[in-house]
Amino acid sequence: MHGTLRKWCVALFGVVPCAAAAAPAPHVAWLAQLHAPIYAAPRVSDGHVYLTSTQSTGPNVFALNTKSGKIEWRYATSGAITISPTIGQTQVFVASDIGDTHFMRALDAKTGALVWQYTRNKPPECMCSHDASLGAGLLFAQTDGHSLYAFTPVGAMPSRRIWQFKGDGARLTVPVTAAGLVLIGSTNHSLYALDAKTGAVRWTAKTGYGFVATPVVSGGLVIAGNRGGTVHAYDVATGKPAWSFSTNGAVDEPAVIDGGTAYIVSEDRSLYAVNVKTGHALWQYDMADYATAAPIIVDNAVVIANRAGDLISVSAATGKSLWLSSLGGTPFSRPILWHGDIVLKIGDHAVAAYAASTGTPVWHYTSPSVVTDPVAAIGGVYMATSNGHVLALR
């Protein structure tokens, strides 16, 4: 069956012949052509694949059926969209701009109809360069001016911007919510806790280096690494320091918490396991180069990819190597797990899968066009390309 799929893929997509790849081609469950360039990763929710396009004329927001690939609705924002949509329970949120006018829109997730629209042009602060996020009943959008906006996305006053946090103009991390607070790091060396209802600063923790990694919350602590290589833990409610852990390189990826252990990658080319309560190091695993994204937990293993092109699995308990597989290129996405396989993007043009238990190559997809990061969901692995194709791989 793989041989048939290889010929079909070459005929339709002009891909590199699968016979030249390290593994056979995946099964392509369906293919859709949107006739619009896609660079941002799709989002999958409730039987739909949602995508945005950088084209500024014609439709640039799409919803496809996950089972068939049928295009269920299209929407035109009249402005290019460079980031993925944000998916709520009933709405799809997209940001775009036309000149100095900037928009945040909420579309009905089932029909694509416009539900509400927020427009801003004074000052010109685009919300279209950073992924929006949801938490504590709010929609958060960061602007190019490094402000954080909070919206009421649904209810009696949808589209209302209820507060704005300006900080000092430095770049902000993705916000997270816990205990009625919005926690956000800044490249001005500070970690802020904002009141979720008002945006008022409840506490601030300042270090010697900026924060790029998204904070994580576990066991009443907020944990965040900074550019100086130190991971800090603070009491969520008070901001009181709990512990700090130092590495020898910048920590730009969020910690991954599992079973009371924080797994942390540093640009010193190491993966660390740290006790969440105490900050004490449990083990350290050294790699040929630093990781390109945070690791993932698969059963009792930690799986990580590094710039040297290694996909690595180590024991979560001991840090000892379980297997190492060469990707044949630089990983461009965080690994994801789908049906017992590790899937990730390699370079601009390839997506591949490896058995999570052994690291053995399972399948390899290559395209002449740039591919997005893959997304795993019920029914398959979904991805899109810069020439407008959307695929479900199974």
The residue out of 286, 317, 332 marking a domain boundary is 286
- Could you tell me if 306 and 290 are in contact, meaning their C-beta atoms sit under 8 angstroms apart? yes
Residue type, 93: F
3-state SS class at 337: strand
Alpha-carbon distance of 7 to 26, in angstroms, equals 12
* Segments in the chain below pLDDT 50: 1-21
Alpha-carbon distance of 22 to 33, in angstroms, equals 27
In this structure, what token pair is assigned to residue 384?
A: 């899109």
Residue pLDDT, tens place only, 72-123: 999 999 889 999 999 999 999 999 988 888 999 999 999 999 999 999 887 7
Query: Which of 208, 223, 147 lies closest to 178 in space, CA to CA?
Result: 223
- 191 and 281: one domain? yes
- 144 and 50: one domain? yes
In a domain, 351, yes or no: yes
- 101 and 126: one domain? yes
Residue type, 33: Q
The residues facing 321 across adjacent strands are 314
In a domain, 239, yes or no: yes
The residues facing 357 across adjacent strands are none
Half-sphere exposure of 270 (CA within 13 A, CB side): 16
Domain containing residue 149: CATH number = 2.40.128.630
pLDDT computed for residue 22 by the predictor = 56
pLDDT computed for residue 63 by the predictor = 98
- 347 and 365: one domain? yes
Query: Which of 220, 214, 246 lies closest to 231 in space, CA to CA?
Result: 246
pLDDT computed for residue 307 by the predictor = 97
Alpha-carbon distance of 279 to 293, in angstroms, equals 21
Which residues fall within 8 angstroms of residue 7, CB to CB, at 6 or more apart? none
- 273 and 324: one domain? no
Residue type, 195: D
- 11 and 52: one domain? no
3-state SS class at 7: helix
- 356 and 316: one domain? yes
In a domain, 172, yes or no: no
pLDDT computed for residue 373 by the predictor = 98
- 282 and 301: one domain? no
In this structure, what token pair is assigned to residue 136?
A: 């504590």
Residue type, 294: A
What's the total number of domains in the chain? 3
The residue out of 135, 166, 197 marking a domain boundary is 166
In a domain, 91, yes or no: yes
- Could you tell me if 247 and 207 are in contact, meaning their C-beta atoms sit under 8 angstroms apart? no
- 63 and 134: one domain? yes
In a domain, 209, yes or no: yes
Residue type, 29: A
Residue pLDDT, tens place only, 196-251: 999 999 999 999 999 999 999 999 999 999 999 999 999 999 999 999 999 999 99
Which residues fall within 8 angstroms of residue 339, CB to CB, at 6 or more apart? none
3-state SS class at 250: coil
Query: Which of 262, 192, 188, 193 lies closest to 231 in space, CA to CA?
Result: 262
The percent of residues above 70 in pLDDT, for the chain, comes to 94
The residue out of 138, 166, 194 marking a domain boundary is 166
In this structure, what token pair is assigned to residue 232?
A: 């800090």
- 243 and 306: one domain? no
- 25 and 66: one domain? no
In this structure, what token pair is assigned to residue 53?
A: 């396009």
Mean confidence (pLDDT) of the chain: 92
- 145 and 103: one domain? yes
The sign of the CA dihedral 235, 238, 239, 244 is negative
Range of the domain at 394: 1-33+295-394
Q: What is the DSSP letter of 35?
A: S
In a domain, 173, yes or no: no
